[in-house]
Amino acid sequence: MSPVRPLTKLQQTIARYVVCTEEQRLVIALWIIHAHLVEHLDQTPYLLVTSPRPRCGKSTLVELIEFLVPRPFNEVLPSEAVVYRVIQAAMPTLLLDEIDAVFNPRTAKNHEGLRALLNAGNRKGATVPRCVGPRHEIHEFSVFSAKLIAAIGTLPDTIADRSIPIRLQRKKRSEPTEKFRRREVGAVTGPIRDGVAAWAAEHGEEIGLDRPDLPEELNDRAQDACEPLIAIADHLGYGDEARAALVSLLSGDRVDSTDVAQLNMLRDIRTLFHSAPNTVAFTTEQLLLQLRMGDWSDYYGRSLDARDLAALLRPFEIESRTVRSGEITAKGYHRDSFHDAWERYLADDAVEDEELVLA
């Protein structure tokens, strides 16, 4: 089998079931390969799968990866005792979905063990001490293994800095994917997983010794995170593509978790544009003025400002651009910047039924 074939097959399989960018598919595929040779590495990047809203394919991607990695351990918030012993015994590929609760201030005290594991588990040799047995003897548990973390929104910088982010967006109706049926997926992925495992067994030790050139655009921690994936990509002849993809994914602004307010903002701006069909763009000040006339007059006890607006729209990858209004040139938001997000997140809404509630 061609050495590139497992990588290509992984990318094709991801595309069958999950809507994501070419860069994301390449990085996910490289991360899956890295999981098959993680025992040869000094550190492992977490794959951080997030989405701004439910129904973006996050859980489907996690399930698909479960079929493609070695020794998958896919649990929603497993107990501390279980996960520590599983890692110690088998060095599994840990797939942690719905990890938001671990860092939620209201429930964080119930998950201190998992937080400790995630804070240290990207480095070979890292251990976490725990008392075990009736005599409460201290035991150092190894916590090093490949880990995927899935959440809605974002996680603390201590975790994000150890991770490669895959931010999924809700698919459009024009972006069909195959239905995920576990039995059929298992038949498709089995030979691919075996091919990846065979390649990793042959090249894993060599890759663990490699010190590839790392993108200067990234900071030290980001370089550390992507080093194993770049080493793999270099062996497969995809080094340039991998470096470009990783720089793109790791250089993006970290976004705040999306909540109802962000979706409401998206909806209200659509209503404003719908009420002004000939308007191609609003300046930021024009938009804020109209929004403040409605439900946005009080935003956490103060008036909505440009920074708030930018933060609310950032999860949808909407940014301000230059707007020309007569002789005035200012920053603002163009109608065409919203089309993709409207189609993904408001496709089921009837525009005609919406009204911006004015004071």
pLDDT in the model for residue 359: 34
pLDDT in the model for residue 53: 72
Structural domain spans, the chain: 4-251, 257-357
Domain 4-251, CATH: 3.40.50.300
Q: Could you tell me which residues come within 8 angstroms of residue 337 by beta carbon, excluding any fewer than 6 positions away?
A: 318, 319, 321
Taking 50 as the threshold, does the pLDDT of residue 121 lie above it? yes
Per-residue confidence at 93, pLDDT binned at 50, 70, 90?
very high
pLDDT single digits (tens) 38-84 = 999 999 999 999 887 778 899 999 999 999 999 999 977 778 788 88
pLDDT single digits (tens) 126-137 = 888 887 877 778
pTM > 0.85: no
Q: Which of 326, 358, 321, 355 shows the shortest CA–CA distance to 338? A: 321
pLDDT in the model for residue 274: 94
d(Cα 272, Cα 346) in Å, to the nearest integer?
14
> Mean pLDDT, the chain, as a whole number?
87
* Burial class of residue 27 in the structure, from the number of CB atoms within 10 Å of its CB (0-12 exposed, 13-18 middle, 19+ buried): buried
Taking 80 as the threshold, does the pLDDT of residue 7 lie above it? yes
d(Cα 274, Cα 272) in Å, to the nearest integer?
5
Taking 60 as the threshold, does the pLDDT of residue 322 lie above it? yes
> Which H or E run includes 199?
helix 182-209
The answer to whether 307 and 317 are in contact (CB under 8 A) is: no
Lowest-pLDDT range, 60-74, 139-153, 330-344? 139-153
End-to-end CA distance of the chain: 67
pLDDT in the model for residue 151: 84
pLDDT in the model for residue 207: 96
Encode 300-315 in three state secondary structure: CCECCCHHHHHHHHHH
